[in-house]
Structure 1
């Protein structure tokens, strides 16, 4: 039972569809939209330690991360506090570093 509970976030992330491709805009549908019991600050630190070129900013309690170059981000992550945890929204940018599989794995590891 415990193993099933631990695998639930991964199953949720795996169920999320792929992005529309490298031309998807920041207003596009999220490639990942999930919730976590972990606070945004913990998730941001974890992602920063697992991925290269992570740029973090905070605005009105929301943590925004850009993964990739600051001018041509590969992924845009929004961490919004919610009921003692966080809501995670990931939008695919125009870059391709890191690969989508690596990004999804980092999100799964950092949100459980």
Structure 2
């Protein structure tokens, strides 16, 4: 019984780290957001920050939401939606299943974190 209890924290930590890690590989589910977070920064400030940090960003608007497509015109790597909600901004990043790794996922996650804070 003691051995089982000692392993519980390690299993929890592993599950937590796996949830935070990248989802690379061919088994990626393109219908699940790669990143889904809320920020106290306005959508316009987050969009401007991402446009400065990321290569080949095209910005459009759909209602109150700001949409950014990252990558080449013919084959986008990421789609970012910035939606205002109760004084904050919801950031959702989607990545098509066979999208190129440009920029690499780790860099994208870092840039999202920097621009959201």
Tell me the TM-score range normalised by the shorter chain. Answer: 0.7 to 0.9
Q: Is the 8 A contact 1:64 1:78 kept in 2?
A: yes
Deviation per CA, 1:50-71: give whole Å up to 9, x if none. 0110110001011010110122
Return 5+ residue gaps in structure 2 as ranges: 1-17
Name the CA distance, whole Å, in 2 between partners of 1:67 and 1:100. Answer: 12
The match for 1:18 is 22
What is the number of residues matched between the two proteins? 98
The TM-score normalised by the length of structure 1 is 0.78
Q: 1:51 to 1:30 in 2, by over 3 A?
A: same
Matched, 1:33 2:48: no
Name the CA distance, whole Å, in 2 between partners of 1:78 and 1:21. Answer: 23
The match for 2:72 is 69
Offset at 1:95?
1.8
Matched, 1:82 2:85: yes
Matched, 1:43 2:46: yes
The match for 1:97 is 102
Offset at 1:19?
3.1
Q: 1:78 to 1:34 in 2, by over 3 A?
A: same
RMSD: 2.0
Deviation per CA, 1:10-51: give whole Å up to 9, x if none. xxxx9545335468575x100100000011110000000001
